[in-house]
Chain A
Amino acid sequence: MQNNVYTSKSTATPFSIRISGLGGQGNVLMGTILADALVKDGKWVIQTQAYGAQVRGGLTLCDVLFSEEPIDFPKARNFDMLFAMHDLALKQHSKFLKNNGILFVDSSMCGKVPNFIQSVTRKIISFPITKISEELFGKKVFANVINLGLVAATTKIVSYDNLKEAILEHVPAKYADMDLKALDEGYHLSDKVYNLREKLKIPYSHGSGAAFE
């Protein structure tokens, strides 16, 4: 009997990522590729998205949940990682970032990071991704793939090789080389590495991870 949703006995919350920006920036594609790569890594993944009726424009978002165990409830309320690809997304969704979560900001598309974030997290990774994409390829559309490289480098949640494989499955062949170059570019943007969740050791506390069975 293989594992499925109803074999999990754990009450641990899955890791959650929200990618948000304007429609057309490639948020959903980025989440799709990330989800595929995580599955190749052997993680249990649920990916959902929300968007308006228009082809381009309007705030869109793509949520990726992943865990070592099957995920029961498919939605998250707060997020361990948040990608703000546009100022609107930053304003709208930064309040959903978890304490000590990681915030990725595309500084060429976003304004100032709201002040309250400083009291939520210090893990802010900010690069002018879209500008870099434009300089390298003359197009803005590679920003999402640069972002993927950045995730792999700074969080180590997903392996670089599987990310590469997933990209090749999703992008048209004529753009494959450029996409791989963009991935590599993102991978070498930052040398910082952040842990997704750090356990705070509180004496005399059993924590919230209530034992089950």
Chain B
Amino acid sequence: MSEKKFVIMQGDEACAMGALVAGCRFFAGYPITPATDIAEVMSRELPKVGGTFIQMEDELGSAAAIIGASLAGVKSMTATSGPGFSLMQEAFGYASMTETPTVFVDVQRGSPSTGLPTKPAQGDIMQARWGTHGDHAVIALYPSSVEEVYRYIVTAFNFAELYRTPVVFLMDETLGHMRESFYLPSPMEFDIVERIQTNELKNETVYQPFLEDSELYDDIQPLVSMGKSRFHVSGLFHDESGFPVGESEIASQLMKHFINKIKLHLDDILIYDTYMMEDAEYVIIAYGITARSAYRAMKLARANGIKVGLFKPITIWPFPSVPLKKILNKVSGIVVAEMNMGQFSHEVSRINKRQVPMQTVLREDGQLISPFDIVNALTNLLGESED
């Protein structure tokens, strides 16, 4: 086993450092607690590796800037919190429509509106999926520890490049501000997806950025930097060359492409961890910082002879229906814990066709869900099944 460095890092810092490993060389942002530290580290570290940091006039500008930078051939990201993420939604839709690889980090805080700036919440789950108008492709990742932040921000950049889509990287205030020790993965451990360079195209080739070859509409044309090739980009429905077309046939084809490029690659995109599910009679479903409470609750319950397992999605959008359905078919009770009023548990109940008894642990007051709250819900569930 190679000797790894044992380090202590803040969540926001890990996000920025991981992004640099992933090849991010452009950051545009506007400071907001609790995501400011990401911008701070980026402003310090990006110039050292030849990257660019811009503090924009606001979040609208930040989101637009990273789309521009990405089209110009540079991996780029922005970081904000709920209030800023709301402002970014218009540009987020534009990135979806123009299939521009971008990473939007949202370090969530108590919400709605300016809410509780220094307190955690998980209220942006649905916003990450449906924040911008219209049907669109989206991938959202949600790590639960500082180490996972460092690892999965790299995955976020890879997904953005592979599937040509904006990726939402959700974090909790607690995770962003917390300093935690972990074994630092070496940069050699990661596979990094690089942008295609123009010299790989033959001189006479006309580059069509939105071309699909396959009947299945799941082939994704690699993006070539603008300036090295000429193409048109538009937020209107467009043909394979990028020019606006109003025909419904082309609109329907493009929409199918948006949906299918995610749907047909779910095996790669869905990342999740399960713990002690082999003999579990009950399952706790939790993500982000709440998954850590759930993990402790699981250990406490197991120590008392309750056979319970944990399902922890890292990819929360697209929703992990298939793996979750398999688990729901095995268990006789579900506990969903989240720091909002039931955004994810609603999705769980949507696929709970067998009507397995379900308890929710919900909290939206800026405090973490304690392991005991989850154990309580479990014991309620036990009582229910005995009736």
Binding site for B on A (CB under 8 A): 2-6, 9-11, 32, 35-36, 39, 42-51, 71-75, 77, 210-213
Contacts and interface: CB of A to CB of B under 8 A. Distances in A.
Contact of B295 (A44, A47, A72): A72
Interface in B302-331: 302-304
10 contacts: A2-B1, A11-B296, A39-B7, A39-B181, A47-B180, A48-B178, A73-B371, A74-B178, A75-B370, A210-B304
Nearest to A9: B299
Given A11-B300, A73-B370, A210-B303, A5 B183 contact: no
B296 A48 contact: no
A116 B27 CA distance: 53
B179 interface: yes
Nearest to B368: A75
B118 interface: yes
Contacts of A212: 299, 302-303
Contacts of A50: 118
Interface in B134-151: 144-145, 147
Given A71-B180, A72-B299, 8 more contacts: A2-B183, A4-B147, A6-B275, A46-B179, A47-B180, A73-B296, A73-B371, A75-B370
A9 B300 CA distance: 10
B302 to A, nearest CB: 6
Contacts of B370: 73, 75, 77
B340 interface: no
B contact face: mostly helix, strand, loop, or mixed: mixed
B292 A35 contact: no
Contacts of B178: 46-48, 74
Nearest to B371: A73
B8 interface: yes
Interface string B167-208: 000000010011111110000000000000000000000000
Interface in B1-34: 1, 4, 6-8
B4 A35 contact: no
B6 A32 contact: no
B386 interface: no
A32 B179 contact: yes
A45 B174 contact: no
Interface residues of B, number: 32
Contacts of A51: 118
A46 B8 CA distance: 8
B293 interface: yes
Nearest to A10: B299
Given A2-B4, A46-B178, A50-B118, A72 B183 contact: no
Most buried by B among A35, A43, A47: A47
A90 to B, nearest CB: 23
Contact of A47 (B8, B275, B299): B8
Given A73-B371, A74-B289, A3 B183 contact: yes
Contacts of A74: 174, 178, 180, 289, 292, 368
Given A39-B8, A45-B8, A72 B296 contact: yes
A48 B173 CA distance: 11
Given A46-B178, A73-B296, A6 B183 contact: no
Contacts of B147: 4-5
Nearest to B183: A2
Most buried by A among B179, B183, B293: B179
B293 A73 contact: yes
A202 B280 CA distance: 34
A45 B181 contact: yes
B340 to A, nearest CB: 19
Nearest to B118: A50
A91 B99 CA distance: 57
Contacts of B145: 4-5
Contacts of B182: 4
Nearest to B117: A53
Most buried by B among A3, A35, A39, A42: A39
